[in-house]
Amino acid sequence: MATKDNSVVGRRLRHFPVTTDLDNSEISVIVNELTGQHAGPTLAIVSGLHGSEWLAPIANTDLIQHIDLEALHGTLLVVPVANPIAFASGTRNIRDESDSPDLNRSFGGKQTWLADQIARVISQEVLEGADAVIDFHTGPWGAAMDVVACPSDYSNADLNERSLGLAKAFGRPFIRRGPMVSDFPGPKSMIGYAGEVLGVPGIVAEVGGVGFDLEVETAWKRILIDGVLNVMAHLGMLERPAGNASIAYVGAAHRVNPSQGGMVEALLGADRLMSNVAEGELLGRVWSPYTFDVIEELRAPVAGILGMVPTNHPARPGDWAYLVFERTQSPG
């Protein structure tokens, strides 16, 4: 774990070409590389694998201002917008004709599809040189979360423990630990591939969303920045008091999303995020913007913890609204 040979102290923008699209535009991955005065590990920060989740790219702007290069040990690699194509269209995935439009399901992909090619560049230029990685998945517009996830099923048991250590260090009250390689989001997700194939431990920070009150979003942004700084302290990259000591674990996730298109009305909103709900509790409603009839009630399928909340917004069938975590005592 030493500062890379080709690194220079300071901040530099690195530009890695991926390919050229049909409209002759170049597709590339931009990396902000911050290298401190002192030798140390390399932490990779990747946000925007999904183009509709743009709270983290905003938080990264402030994060960079918080890094004191004189005090920094090692290197911080920040990829604010991992998927510029989806970001430009405001969508989760790339809208193309491939079998693999989701960049976070394309790591290790060997095709020339856009997502496969971007994943290869991120793997080679960012992940392979990293000692740890944080992947950000905030909610898309109109939905928010607040949990840190880490895999429990890397073949290398040591990686599982190191990933859990990173998750605890991030400092949020709830951790979701489970089979993220073999189950969800799977071996071709960035976190699955980074650990299983490259041996890089990592976590997924699923905190915040966009479309909420400015004060609420600002607080989430602050949480993301603090979380990264906490992880950096855990890795010995900077000095910082320890974060939250009280951590609970959540179990299986139950999505409560509309099955029909309509207006989602959030009866439980951002102030209820990660609070307890009862089985059958009414969380929200979906009503028709054409007839004004309520066409669906969104109820908690189990008693548990409200892991995702929406704000009022129009939704297509399957769009995000609520999610309920089962409670669990074990860390997965």
Give the separation between CA 137 and CA 304, rounded to whole angstroms.
22
Sheet holding 313-315, edge to edge: 294-299, 282-287, 262-266, 313-315
Give the separation between CA 47 and CA 171, rounded to whole angstroms.
19
- Angle at Cα 252 formed by Cα 218 and Cα 305, nearest 5°? 50
User: Considering beta carbons, is residue 40 or 109 the nearer one to Zn ion?
Assistant: 109
Task: Find the shortest distance in angstroms from Cβ 160 to Zn ion.
Answer: 22
Give the separation between CA 262 and CA 90, rounded to whole angstroms.
20
Task: Find the shortest distance in angstroms from Cβ 80 to Zn ion.
Answer: 14
- Angle at Cα 237 formed by Cα 231 and Cα 240, nearest 5°? 65
Task: Find the shortest distance in angstroms from Cβ 201 to Zn ion.
Answer: 20
Residues that bind Zn ion (CB under 5 A): 50, 53, 137
Task: Find the shortest distance in angstroms from Cβ 39 to Zn ion.
Answer: 33
Spatial contact of 179 and 251, defined as CB atoms under 8 Å apart = no
* Token output for 163: 């990933």
Task: Find the shortest distance in angstroms from Cβ 209 to Zn ion.
Answer: 11
Q: Annotate 56-69 with b (16+ C-beta within 10 A) or e (fewer).
A: bbbbbeebbeebee
Give the separation between CA 288 and CA 151, rounded to whole angstroms.
39
* Category of 186 on φ-ψ map: left (φ > 0), alpha (ψ -120 to 50) or beta: left
* Token output for 194: 């980074």
* Token output for 174: 């709830």
Task: Find the shortest distance in angstroms from Cβ 35 to Zn ion.
Answer: 28
Spatial contact of 72 and 104, defined as CB atoms under 8 Å apart = no
How do strand 73-79 and strand 38-47 relate by DSSP bridges? parallel
